[in-house]
């Protein structure tokens, strides 16, 4: 184990690609540059609030000392570091946005451990050349959300970037939370993010838009050599794209499994490694609603609603394919690779749903049953997380007269007679299917409880933790951090296992979020 300040070294990325070394953080276009040097802006009173012991262990890091906290706050650089911000582009809400880039993220360098090589990035450490009109800072509200959700998703088993630390800065940051002309000063904070790579679809889109074919090809080969070393030969860019398609499809299945809604699936927020990246106006679903979007900026179109996420991912992959097409003479294999997304997604989706329902296998009839579950749940809109955990208590012998009594705690409203009939019919069909299982119900229920979380990071819980932190109380924040380490546990943290309360239904920061969140 080693202290953080002794382990961070400049990245291979800055050694291999052209960048602006001037250190000028004036917002501007940087054609031909894949990054710009950007030193963090020091903060007045850094204070460590959160630390991921699990991630630190994976990175072979000791508990942070005073020098480490200075680095995590952006107040200190070592000689081995080369801080920079990446340039990339993207499609935002379906529209080409041109050059974007790391507006408030600064990559400090790389960490090498027994688990591999990881990049360490500070989010909220000050302006970069890509900050446009912003200040490059982050508020405590958004930083707490990103820190806790990053680690919560990891423990759920969903591919994600990680969060190592959360540091309060001791300064105030002006933010207009809902872009409605009512800015307020909020406490500032910085999250340190960790991933094998923070490359996005947008990195490749930018080079393609600039018609910079040499760097486009070079970046593709560098990414393959570094993160897909098993690929080789003249078709390795095609094989790499196929893997991106597969990983992205798998990621969408995992989001659907746990009821996660990203909220802003722009192409610049899509990881080239199939990781969940850039946590802003995210939310887990409370009531089961395919049209749910937590992002007020996404209204009224609901482009990034829960039920749309798989199709948006396919659309985004299409934009990545367009960028990479400049490296292909024959586009047909690339199109075939892109079109493999649908089969890959649905095969993985039905397999996932089979586990959520505790089935020994998934046949044609089971797919029809899964579709009926989707239809009925969308009508009645029970709490998604509580429903699937409660479903594991159903057996083929459960008396249908007690079904509604059993499921009553998961409903947000009383189903009408027609909905009740549909629900009872669905449970009856499910019981009949359980009778055909080749595994006993205890084994089946255990599979369900390993795939259906009991504890999720609900927005109203985050809201409570943020409120208490802003008032100097860290107890609930610590409790949430601990609870998120065991999302599938069958006991413990009972107070967190309940529906969204009525007070949170229209509460800002609970049901209403924005890209500023």
Q: Rg of the chain's alpha carbons, rounded to an integer?
A: 23
Q: What is the pLDDT of residues 430-448, one digit of tens each?
A: 999 999 999 999 999 999 9
Q: How many helices (H) and strands (E) does the chain have?
A: 16, 11
Q: How many CB atoms lie within 10 A of CB 92?
A: 19
pLDDT averaged over every residue in the chain: 96
**Residue 32 pLDDT exceeds 80:** yes
Q: Is 260 exposed, middle or buried (0-12, 13-18, 19+ CB in 10 A)?
A: buried
Please say whether the beta carbons of 406 and 390 come within 8 A. Answer: yes
Q: Which of these three, 138, 172, 196, is where a domain ends?
A: 196
- Confidence bin at 505 (pLDDT 50/70/90): confident
In a domain, 511, yes or no: no
* Pair 262, 335 in one domain: yes
Distance CA(416)–CA(130), nearest Å, equals: 53
Phi then psi dihedrals of residue 333, to 5 deg: -60, -35
Domain of 115, in residue numbers: 4-196
Q: Mean per-residue pLDDT for 58-77?
A: 96
Q: What percent of the chain has pLDDT over 70?
A: 100
Distance CA(438)–CA(455), nearest Å, equals: 29
In a domain, 497, yes or no: yes
* Pair 24, 55 in one domain: yes
* Pair 282, 214 in one domain: yes
Give the pLDDT score at 462: 97
Please say whether the beta carbons of 242 and 165 come within 8 A. Answer: no
Number of domains composing the chain: 4
Q: Mean per-residue pLDDT for 107-135?
A: 95
In a domain, 272, yes or no: yes
Give the pLDDT score at 266: 98
Q: What is the pLDDT of residues 84-95, one digit of tens each?
A: 999 999 999 999
Characterize the bridge pairing of strands 116-123 and 105-113.
antiparallel
Angle at 155 between CA 152 and CA 159, to 5 degrees: 90
User: Is-cis flag, bond preceding 300, omega within 30?
Assistant: yes
Give the pLDDT score at 400: 86
pTM of whole model > 0.85?
yes
* Pair 387, 347 in one domain: no
* Pair 325, 426 in one domain: no
Q: Phi-psi region for residue 208, left (φ > 0), alpha (ψ -120 to 50) or beta?
A: alpha
* Pair 421, 289 in one domain: no
| Alpha-carbon distance values, 485 to 124, 148, 161, 276, 479 (Å) | 25, 10, 16, 18, 10
Q: Is 503 exposed, middle or buried (0-12, 13-18, 19+ CB in 10 A)?
A: exposed
Tell me, yes or no, if 268 is annotated catalytic.
Answer: yes
User: DSSP letters along 479-498, please?
Assistant: HHHHHTT-TT-SSS-GGGSS
Tokens 């890091």 identify what position? Answer: 61
Distance CA(14)–CA(36), nearest Å, equals: 9
* Pair 182, 276 in one domain: no
* Among 58, 102, 212, 268, the one annotated catalytic: 268
Which residue from 340, 376, 385, 364 is spatially nearest to 250, judged by alpha carbons?
A: 340
Q: What is the pLDDT of residues 417-426, one digit of tens each?
A: 999 999 999 9
Give the pLDDT score at 134: 87
In a domain, 109, yes or no: yes
In a domain, 516, yes or no: no
Characterize the bridge pairing of strands 47-51 and 162-175.
antiparallel
**3-state secondary structure string, 35-77?**
EEECCCCCCCCCEEEEECHHHHHHCCECCCCHHHHHHHCCCCC
| Alpha-carbon distance values, 104 to 138, 273, 338, 510 (Å) | 8, 21, 32, 24
* Pair 162, 253 in one domain: no
- Confidence bin at 178 (pLDDT 50/70/90): confident
* Pair 188, 220 in one domain: no
* Pair 369, 435 in one domain: yes
Q: Which of these three, 332, 354, 376, is where a domain ends?
A: 354
Q: What is the pLDDT of residues 365-408, one digit of tens each?
A: 999 999 999 999 999 999 999 999 999 999 999 998 899 999 99
260 has which bridge partners?
284
Give the pLDDT score at 179: 75
Q: Which of these three, 412, 428, 451, is where a domain ends?
A: 451
- Confidence bin at 517 (pLDDT 50/70/90): low
Please say whether the beta carbons of 152 and 485 come within 8 A. Answer: no
- Confidence bin at 415 (pLDDT 50/70/90): very high
In a domain, 300, yes or no: yes
In a domain, 512, yes or no: no
Q: What is the pLDDT of residues 206-235, one digit of tens each?
A: 999 999 999 999 999 999 999 999 999 999
Q: Is 442 exposed, middle or buried (0-12, 13-18, 19+ CB in 10 A)?
A: exposed
* Pair 330, 422 in one domain: no
Please say whether the beta carbons of 209 and 201 come within 8 A. Answer: no
Give the pLDDT score at 516: 65
Token code pair at residue 453:
């979380």
Q: Phi-psi region for residue 128, left (φ > 0), alpha (ψ -120 to 50) or beta?
A: beta
Give the pLDDT score at 131: 96
Angle at 144 between CA 143 and CA 145, to 5 degrees: 90
Q: What is the pLDDT of residues 257-309, one digit of tens each?
A: 999 999 999 999 999 999 999 999 999 999 999 999 999 999 999 999 999 99
Give the pLDDT score at 60: 96
In a domain, 188, yes or no: yes
* Pair 496, 373 in one domain: no
């Amino acid at each position: 184990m080693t202290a953080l300040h002794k382990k961070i070294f400049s990245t291979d990325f800055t050694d291999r690609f052209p960048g602006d070394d001037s250190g000028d953080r004036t917002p501007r276009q940087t054609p031909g540059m894949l990054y710009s040097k950007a030193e963090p802006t020091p903060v007045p009173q850094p204070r460590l609030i959160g630390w991921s012991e699990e991630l630190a262990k994976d990175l072979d890091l000791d508990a942070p000392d005073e020098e480490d906290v200075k680095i995590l706050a952006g107040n200190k650089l070592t000689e081995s570091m080369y801080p920079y911000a990446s340039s990339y582009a993207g499609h935002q809400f379906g529209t080409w946005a041109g050059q974007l880039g790391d507006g408030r993220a600064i990559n400090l360098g790389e960490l090498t451990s027994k688990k591999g090589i990881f990049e360490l990035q500070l989010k909220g450490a000050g302006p970069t050349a890509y900050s446009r009109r912003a200040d490059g800072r982050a508020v405590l509200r958004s930083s707490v959300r990103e820190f806790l959700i990053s680690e919560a998703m990891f423990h759920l088993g969903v591919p994600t970037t990680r969060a190592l630390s959360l540091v309060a800065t001791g300064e105030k940051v002006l933010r207009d939370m809902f872009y409605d002309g009512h800015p307020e000063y909020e406490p500032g904070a910085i999250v340190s993010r960790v991933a094998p790579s923070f490359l996005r679809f947008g990195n490749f889109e930018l080079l393609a838009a600039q018609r910079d074919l040499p760097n486009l090809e070079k970046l593709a080969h560098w990414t393959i050599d570094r993160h897909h070393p098993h690929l080789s030969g003249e078709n390795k860019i095609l094989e790499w794209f196929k893997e991106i398609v597969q990983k992205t499809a798998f990621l969408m299945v995992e989001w659907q499994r746990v009821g996660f809604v990203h909220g802003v699936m722009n192409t610049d927020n899509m990881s080239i490694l199939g990781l969940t990246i850039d946590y802003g106006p995210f939310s887990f679903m409370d009531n089961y609603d395919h049209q749910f979007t937590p992002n007020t900026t996404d209204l009224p179109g609901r482009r990034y609603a829960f039920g749309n996420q798989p199709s948006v991912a396919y659309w985004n992959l299409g934009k990545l394919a367009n960028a990479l097409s400049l490296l292909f003479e024959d586009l047909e294999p690339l199109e075939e690779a892109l079109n493999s997304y649908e089969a890959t997604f649905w095969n993985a989706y039905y397999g996932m749903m089979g586990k959520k329902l505790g089935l020994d296998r998934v046949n044609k009839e089971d797919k029809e049953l899964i579709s009926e579950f989707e239809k009925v749940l969308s009508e009645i809109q029970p709490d998604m997380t509580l429903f699937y955990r409660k479903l594991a208590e159903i057996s083929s012998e459960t008396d249908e007269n007690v079904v509604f009594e059993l499921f009553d705690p998961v409903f947000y409203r009383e189903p009408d007679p027609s909905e009740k009939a549909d629900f009872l019919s669905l449970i009856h069909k499910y019981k009949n299917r359980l009778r055909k299982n080749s595994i006993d119900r205890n084994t089946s229920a255990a599979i369900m409880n390993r795939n259906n979380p009991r504890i999720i990071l609900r927005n109203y819980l985050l809201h409570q933790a943020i409120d208490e932190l802003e008032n100097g109380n860290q107890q609930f924040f610590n409790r949430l951090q601990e609870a998120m380490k065991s999302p599938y546990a069958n006991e413990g943290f009972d107070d967190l296992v309940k529906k969204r309360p009525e007070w949170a239904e229209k509460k800002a920061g609970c049901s209403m979020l924005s890209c500023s969140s």
